[in-house]
Amino acid sequence: MPASKRRIPVSQPGMADPHQLFDDTSSAQSRGYGAQRAPGGLSYPAASPTPHAAFLADPVSNMAMAYGSSLAAQGKELVDKNIDRFIPITKLKYYFAVDTMYVGRKLGLLFFPYLHQDWEVQYQQDTPVAPRFDVNAPDLYIPAMAFITYVLVAGLALGTQDRFSPDLLGLQASSALAWLTLEVLAILLSLYLVTVNTDLTTIDLVAFLGYKYVGMIGGVLMGLLFGKIGY
């Protein structure tokens, strides 16, 4: 007879009936055996718990995980405070609060500034309103997009002259950024030397100085379309 069909005779009193489908686990003797019986009297060893389950079942491990999560939360809070100290994220959100109508009006103001009369920035409870509500408010969206567009247009101009290379494109971007930084530092130094009290911040200066890239893009495009005379 094959081993899978062989029945194990009950030789000791108190053992489970081989015809019983499930063992009686309520008795103390059944708890003494380390293996559960399957139907037909065949014995199979109990499945051992996985290391992951054993790790989670350990209270010391649970405490360690909770402590690690607490440290991670404290570290994230510390990083956020330090980032906000050196890079004012909350203030930068104000300079990017723009919409399509504002961008169109601002570009028209940059190309035709003499048609604009009222240059006063609007305030609400000693706080300047968002740029999308005031065309005179400085923003960083147009300067950032204009800077990137200027680098690309300059690369296009170099390509028409058969002088384009990735190195020149990177040099053009770094030189434009370096000149912008020097302009901001020069204005800050001038304000410090003449002791002028102003509400303009460094970010405001970057925004106002970044608007010049719009005109520079127009100049390069005119040069591409009409040559040196158009430029």
Q: What's residue 147's pLDDT?
A: 96
What would the DSSP string read from start to end of 194-223?
A: TT------HHHHHHHHHTHHHHHHHHHHHH
Mean pLDDT of 27-31: 48
Give me Rg for the CA atoms of the chain: 38
pLDDT at 23 over 80: no
Residue 89 to residue 154: CA distance in whole angstroms: 31
Give yes or no for residue 119 having a pLDDT over 80: yes
Does residue 14 carry a pLDDT above 60?
no
Mean pLDDT (the chain) is 77
Residue 80: per-residue pLDDT = 61
Task: Output helix, strand, coil percentages for the chain, rounded to the nearest 5.
Answer: 60, 5, 35
User: Poorest-confidence range of 63-72, 174-183, 218-227?
Assistant: 63-72
